[in-house]
Structure 1
Amino acid sequence: MTDVVKQEAAAGKAAKKNRVADKKLLLEVNDLKVQFDIPSKSLWPWAKPSKLKAVDGVSIKLYEGETLGIVGESGCGKSTFARALIGLVPAVAGSVVWLGQDLTRLPYKEMREKRKEIQMIFQDPLASLNPRMTVGDIIAEPLRTFFPQLSKVEVKEQVKDMMTKVGLLPNVINRYPHEFSGGQCQRIGIARALILKPKMIICDEPVSALDVSIQAQVVNLLQSLQKELGLSLIFIAHDLSIVKHISDRVLVMYLGNVVEVGETKALFAEPKHPYTKALMSAVPIPDPILERQKKIEMLEGDLPSPLNPPSGCVFRTRCPVAKASCAETKPTLTGDEAHAVSCLLVA
């Protein structure tokens, strides 16, 4: 019986490898680092600025049609990492390889053209829209920028078609953002991101500012558009329930580092890193009996400053199982694409 189980497990791993091999690799990020110079408080003019390590060596892969969820506490570097992917924040080291080309090495003009293929949806739907522009002008702006040869009639037709796809009535094309609800403004942001027909969209906490019922509508809209248009998504969120629902794989970040990454089912069924376990234990269960019975793993202390991160494992100052060796050696991700963890104490 044991041999049969081993054969089935081996067959399952082989099937996973074949599925991954069949997918087209769109994005491969290798050891990406983002740092910011913080001016010294010293009165001496020659004092060197401090280095804030916002992203400290993150590596990911994203395949065609896949959704990668990114989770972690506020200040862990999720949004900075997302902006570094498309050059909104400069990277100091590492590579962002998009369809075989390293975006960090491209000249400005070539990088500008690549932005047609990678678009972004921002966290605050109203703040990301220009209040002086109508909805039609906001959605049409990318078209006018990248395709100036299009006539006004062609642009208007494409804008109306995209508004219909995201659930907006075309007859509101001449209204302004303040006349819409938060959910409708986020639909406008989605339409603006999709109008260029990109291959990948980075969703930077797109539902955190919305009501729960509206969150579900926006997530379902993104999933339906993903199937219809063949999109790949990077979905950043704090709500692990939403991440579990929409993601194929999940990446857990802490203080600019990846502590665990894996397929959604495997990671939620058996989290290995102490930080991931703490995050999972905080997810509410709809059943009140099970909710009262579950054990919540509380994290002690505050998130360390990225200006002065702990030596060795960055999570050791809050880890309930940390040992002396954790302060000496920085762990690396071990495992495969199905599930990998960065912890010295996890076999």
Structure 2
Amino acid sequence: MTRPLLDVHDLRVTFSLGSGGLLPWSKPRLLHAVNGVDFTLQPGETLGIVGESGSGKSTLARALIGLVDAQGSAEWVDGKDLIGLSPGQMMAYRNDIQMVFQDPLASLNPRMTVGQIIAEPLVTHHPGLSRAEVKTRVKAMMEKVGLLSNQINRYPHEFSGGQCQRIGIARALIVEPKLIICDEPVSALDVSIQAQVINLLIRLQQELGLSLIFIAHDLSVVKHISDRVLVMYLGKVMEIAPSADLYADPQHPYTQALLSAVPVPDPDFDPATSVVPLHGELPSPSNPPSGCVFRTRCPRAQARCASEVPVLQGQAHQTACHFPGPFTEAEIAKARSTEAA
């Protein structure tokens, strides 16, 4: 079997919120943004990561590239653990791991031309290249992502949101990485532009043999681009499965609730019999529920859920739930009646 490009085990990110009381010796409050995440990523694979805001998706991405301190392990294909590396040590892997950020305009330096922005990683990691070589590579990359090479001396504010995101993708690709982490790269774009950027990423992945970690709220977008999908809630993995399996047969109540909330373009679709309501708000990660962190919003929660933390079980399709399986019509009706009351 091919060795994973990335093997993540028990990844944790914890932030201190200061003292938990008025006395100076009070214990500090801790916020568990990422709490024991495990997954592998194969060469050429796209792993989609979904979940509500506050689930820890972006923090997970930043931990993998060393922007926040983390515990656990993230073993690269060469056997090196990326977690805990110093900035200098991490520099050796910047060629291999790049990131595309959520806000396409805010992630670009407004004082630099597009050519300078795209060339910056190349100049940093390959200082031996001549100016002519850098310019040639930048122009070729601009054309590869759908930009005109004669726009090389323009500034970010002269481009649309979709074009700015193409600039961000070009900047990430210019050093020929093995992995690109996309942190909600299309959430700020119009629907039609979203489709163009997604199709661009799929094409580039096939041409360049890239692996992708694709973070998004839109489950329909994740379905279109991902080979496997990981569902996060309050810093934990609820479910991870091949994309087709997860969308056809979701096992975790949280996954079912997320999928049932996706709009269905069918006039005969009746939400009252098919949509699983998601009650309440996401609990604070500084004070998570005992046992299963989803139990306070789960219509299937029982006493065991409050006392015992579920672990991921299964082979290709893994679920962290004491009572997995599709909701019955009776359970959906009961949940909806509770919501109405």
TM-score bucket of the superposed structures, by smaller chain: over 0.9
Find the aligned partners of 2:270 and 2:213 in 1 and give their Cα distance: 30
- The alpha-carbon deviation at position 287 of structure 1 amounts to 2.4
Matched with 2:339 is none
Matched with 2:303 is 324
Matched with 2:19 is 40
- The alpha-carbon deviation at position 293 of structure 1 amounts to 7.2
Q: Deviations over 1:225-276 (max 9, x none)?
A: 0000000000000000010110000000000000000001111111011000
Matched with 1:263 is 242
Instruction: Tell me if structure 1 keeps the 8 A contact 2:69–2:84.
Output: no
1:187 and 2:141 matched: no
1:159 and 2:135 matched: no
| One of 180, 189, 195 as aligned partner of 1:216 | 195
Find the aligned partners of 1:122 and 1:291 in 2 and give their Cα distance: 37
Q: Which moved more, 1:155-164 or 1:100-109?
A: 100-109
Find the aligned partners of 2:267 and 2:190 in 1 and give their Cα distance: 22
Q: Secondary structure at the match of 2:241?
A: strand
Matched with 1:303 is 282
Match runs of 1:1-347 below 5 Å: 21=1, 23-40=2-19, 42-91=21-70, 93-99=71-77, 100-290=79-269, 295-336=274-315, 338-346=316-324
Q: Deviations over 1:151-178 (max 9, x none)?
A: 1111100000000000000101001000
Instruction: Tell me if structure 2 keeps the 8 A contact 1:136–1:173.
Output: yes
- The alpha-carbon deviation at position 42 of structure 1 amounts to 4.1
Q: Deviations over 1:103-153 (max 9, x none)?
A: 114343221111110000000000000000000000000011111111111
Find the aligned partners of 1:64 and 1:285 in 2 and give their Cα distance: 33
- The alpha-carbon deviation at position 285 of structure 1 amounts to 1.7
Find the aligned partners of 1:313 and 1:105 in 2 and give their Cα distance: 29
Percent identity between the two aligned chains: 67
Q: Which sections of structure 2, spanning at least 5 residues, go unmatched?
A: 326-341
* Residues matched between the structures, number: 324
Instruction: Tell me if structure 1 keeps the 8 A contact 2:66–2:85.
Output: no
Instruction: Tell me if structure 1 keeps the 8 A contact 2:102–2:187.
Output: yes
CA-based RMSD of the aligned residues comes to: 1.3
Matched with 2:336 is none
Find the aligned partners of 1:257 and 1:309 in 2 and give their Cα distance: 11
Find the aligned partners of 2:50 and 2:271 in 1 and give their Cα distance: 25
Instruction: Tell me if structure 1 keeps the 8 A contact 2:51–2:217.
Output: yes
Matched with 1:11 is none
Instruction: Tell me if structure 1 keeps the 8 A contact 2:21–2:27.
Output: no
Q: Deviations over 1:7-45 (max 9, x none)?
A: xxxxxxxxxxxxxx2x44100000000000102364433
Q: Deviations over 1:26-80 (max 9, x none)?
A: 0000000000010236443343321000000000100011000000000000000
Find the aligned partners of 1:294 and 1:189 in 2 and give their Cα distance: 43
Find the aligned partners of 1:309 and 1:323 in 2 and give their Cα distance: 17
Find the aligned partners of 2:180 and 2:46 in 1 and give their Cα distance: 10
Matched with 1:4 is none
Q: TM-score scaled by structure 1?
A: 0.91
Q: Which moved more, 1:122-131 or 1:285-294?
A: 285-294
- The alpha-carbon deviation at position 301 of structure 1 amounts to 1.2
Find the aligned partners of 2:86 and 2:267 in 1 and give their Cα distance: 56
Name the amino acid aligned to 1:346: P
Instruction: Tell me if structure 2 keeps the 8 A contact 1:285–1:291.
Output: no
Name the amino acid aligned to 1:123: Q
Find the aligned partners of 2:201 and 2:45 in 1 and give their Cα distance: 12
Q: Secondary structure at the match of 1:289?
A: coil
Find the aligned partners of 1:292 and 1:310 in 2 and give their Cα distance: 29
Q: Which sections of structure 1, spanning at least 5 residues, go unmatched?
A: 1-20
